[in-house]
Amino acid sequence: MRECLAMVGQVFTAGDIDYRMFQTIVCRSDLTVDGEVLAPWPPSSLSGRLAGRR
């Protein structure tokens, strides 16, 4: 999981996402078994919110 969700851990540690969001991302990522279909991080819906916090 450290390799697949490294950026999720970084934004969680930085406080950009809360524990519930972190938990949701991890849980839903576990459901995906095909690496070809994983969405790029960060999703466009979050990139604007994250840009203001860096």
pLDDT value of residue 30: 72
State the chain's mean pLDDT as an integer: 75
pLDDT value of residue 53: 59
CB-facing half-sphere around the CA of 43: CA atoms within 13 A: 7
Place of tokens 């972190």: 22
DSSP string, 15-29: TSS-HHHHHHHHHHH
| Total-model pTM | 0.52
DSSP letter at 50 equals H
Q: How many Å apart are CA 53 and CA 1, to the nearest integer?
A: 25
CB atoms within 10 A of CB 17: 20
Question: Which parts of the chain have pLDDT scores under 50?
Answer: 54
